[in-house]
Amino acid sequence: MFTHVILKNLPDVPEKFITSALESLKYADTDRPEDNLSDAYKSRKLIINGEIKSVTYQTRMDINKEFYDWVHENIHPEGFDCGVSFTNGRFGTHQGPHTDLTRDFTLLYLLDAGGPETETVFYEEIGQPIIRTQRQAVCNDFSKLRVLERIKFPLRKWVLLNAMCLHGVENIEKVRVSFQVSINNNIWFN
């Protein structure tokens, strides 16, 4: 079982795609970004040390077909939902613990962490398996969680994230920006 692996052998994202992603930032600050998440998921309330907090969430946007082609040729031949993702800290400082809705693994290439103290956190929900096969499993009450690992992902490096393990992002102060590629099979190791 792994939570994440930094894949140092994968190529950097070409600058033309980074430019396109950063130009898309204008959409990150809208009050109602489009996404595929349920209203119930987006209106979650987290309970952290007895205090109720609003949750933020990420919005993923396609860049273009050329980016998909580049991903399939250079990163993963079966990658899907290839695009740029934004998580806006003005909606909340925490992206609450969850498993992903559409994928088993995420390839993440972080352009902006969302603040100097922003961390990705992996959790075990007490009484539940670490690897969850349920899509979009959530736990809103932090008293029911045990932290497995906290990490500040490096900028501009590909990271393979196990999206079947409860994970979230904490301490988001501004807009977190990353390329993300969804995959359901890990082709690098078992």
- Dump pLDDT digits (tens) for 6-29: 999 999 999 999 999 988 777 666
Beta strands in 141-184 (DSSP E): 145-151, 158-162, 167-170, 175-183
CATH number, domain of 21, equals 2.60.120
Q: Report if residue 8 sits inside a domain.
A: yes
Cβ pair 150, 119 in contact under 8 A: yes
Which pLDDT score, from 0 to 100, does residue 34 have?
A: 53
What's the pTM?
0.90
Structural domains in the chain (count): 1
Q: Tell me: the pLDDT tens digits for 36-91?
A: 555 655 567 888 999 998 888 788 888 889 999 999 999 999 999 999 998 888 88
Domain annotation covers residue 137: yes
Task: Map tokens 């501004």 to a residue.
Answer: 174
In a domain, 76, yes or no: yes
- Domain range for 9: 4-29+38-183
Dist CA 153 CA 4 (whole Å): 10
* Residue 102 scores a pLDDT above 50: yes
Mean pLDDT across the stretch 122-135? 92
